[in-house]
């Protein structure tokens, strides 16, 4: 960091990642309200990311998950969040550092953020994703897109 300059973009990126942390923290405590659901994109090879091996092999750079009707054990910490998602009927735990985020959106609120992941060489790259067996081909947000893992998180009561 240059001591003679303020790094406004980095400060804003950090503040926006904190906003995502706060949103997920609220959902972990109270569940998803109304029709809210989230698209969360992140770099799969970012330090601290933990995903099943098959997912990293299939999507070695970036993936987007959708938290909507079925998820379990959402835990949010200062630097990472973790969640259990179903892949082919098997629950798998994902750990995602906030610094690895590339995108966050809530289509029901017409809200979206784009992030520059630390060490990201190509910001123009589109996120890849997988759609699990139990995913529906179309949602209220539109048709399933290639490169998106569609999940339906359950609401905590």
Q: How many CB atoms lie within 10 A of CB 142?
A: 8
Which structural domain range is residue 144 located in? 8-150
Q: Tell me, yes or no, whether 143 lies in a domain.
A: yes
Structural domains counted in the chain:
1
Q: Tell me, yes or no, whether 155 lies in a domain.
A: no
Q: Give residue-wise pLDDT tens across range 145-154.
A: 334 444 444 4
Q: Tell me, yes or no, whether 3 lies in a domain.
A: no
Q: Which of 20-24, 52-56, 139-143, 147-151 has the highest mean pLDDT?
A: 20-24
Cα distance between residue 81 and residue 111, in whole Å: 20
Q: Average pLDDT of 8-33?
A: 95
Q: Tell me, yes or no, whether 156 lies in a domain.
A: no
Q: Give residue-wise pLDDT tens across range 59-82.
A: 999 999 989 988 999 999 999 999
Q: Residue 25 belongs to a domain with what CATH number?
A: 2.30.30.220
- Could you tell me the two tokens for 129? 């994703």
Q: Tell me, yes or no, whether 2 lies in a domain.
A: no
| The predicted structure's pLDDT at residue 118 | 62
| pTM attached to this predicted model | 0.74
CB 97 within 8 A of CB 79: yes
DSSP 23-71: HHHHHHHH---TT--EEEEEETTSTT-B--HHHHHHSSSEEEEEESS--
């Amino acid at each position: 960091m240059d001591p003679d300059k303020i790094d406004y973009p980095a400060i804003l990126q950090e503040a926006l990642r904190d906003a995502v942390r706060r949103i997920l923290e609220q959902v972990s405590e109270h569940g998803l309200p109304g029709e809210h659901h989230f698209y969360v994109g992140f770099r799969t090879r970012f330090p601290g990311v933990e995903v099943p091996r098959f997912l990293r092999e299939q999507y070695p750079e970036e993936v987007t998950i959708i938290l909507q009707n079925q998820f379990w054990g959402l835990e949010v910490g200062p630097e990472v969040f973790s969640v259990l998602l179903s892949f082919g009927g098997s629950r798998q735990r994902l750990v995602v550092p906030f610094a690895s985020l590339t995108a966050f959106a809530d289509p029901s609120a017409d809200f979206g953020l784009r992030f520059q992941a630390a060490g990201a060489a190509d910001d123009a790259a589109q996120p890849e994703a997988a759609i699990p067996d139990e995913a529906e081909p179309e949602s209220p947000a539109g048709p399933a897109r290639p490169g998106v893992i569609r999940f339906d998180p359950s609401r905590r009561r």
